[in-house]
Copies of this chain bind each other. A is one copy, B any other.
């Protein structure tokens, strides 16, 4: 039930409706912030909305489960969808427009263009989910051209995605400022994720160990230990904590995700993807 204090959030279903609202804001001289999401919103998303509100006059959030970034065997069909609740949460956070296009509006018949960002999109998620960053780059480029925001806010939880988006924006000269926000976590350090909804109570206990294992490994690498040994130990620790499969634990240069043997120059990041039961989780920390 909608709170009486929170008026219903306007929803744009088409590019034309979206542009009508945004160009109205523009005519009044307002700056525009944008938060792209796949819905099933949690406090992490809402912190992005609040960050956009701090930086711009009017904020639009998209809710679109993007099929081009899922592989056939992945969870596109079961990905959580709760649009009415998402609209309430966005309105409560101060967002002024939800953009929720149908798949046919985003990808009309006959569309053929693909984007390959290269660079930071290679390896890690790009290796385990080869369709992922091409799909992300395409939908983000389209969303930016549809919304034309001054500022767009992404979470650091998807660190590699954030680096891919920054590379895309730089390489195509897209006139938008990209802001990355720290990962929101529960009281046990677990990164908030829409996919946490898939976890059983026992799996949740395991999932909550991920962050601590990465923090300890990051500290060892920062102290000068060889990266490869630290990565291997962290992967073992995750298996010991109850994860069923560790896709990767990797310590990389923060910006372009290039590998190195020891952390010697510039910011580094430790990133991991691991599966518990049928759920695949990712997390990362500054080293």
Contacts and interface: CB of A to CB of B under 8 A. Distances in A.
Given A148-B175, A174-B145, A175-B145, A114 B112 contact: no
Interface string A103-140: 00000101111111111100000000000000001100
Contact of A141 (B118, B120, B172): B172
A171 interface: yes
Most buried by B among A111, A114, A117, A171: A171
A146 interface: yes
Contacts of A142: 171-173
Nearest to A19: B175
State how many copies of this chain the complex holds.
2
Interface of A: 15, 19, 108, 110-120, 137-138, 141-142, 145-146, 148, 167-168, 170-175, 256
B145 A112 contact: no
Contacts of A112: 117-120, 167, 171
Nearest to A115: B115
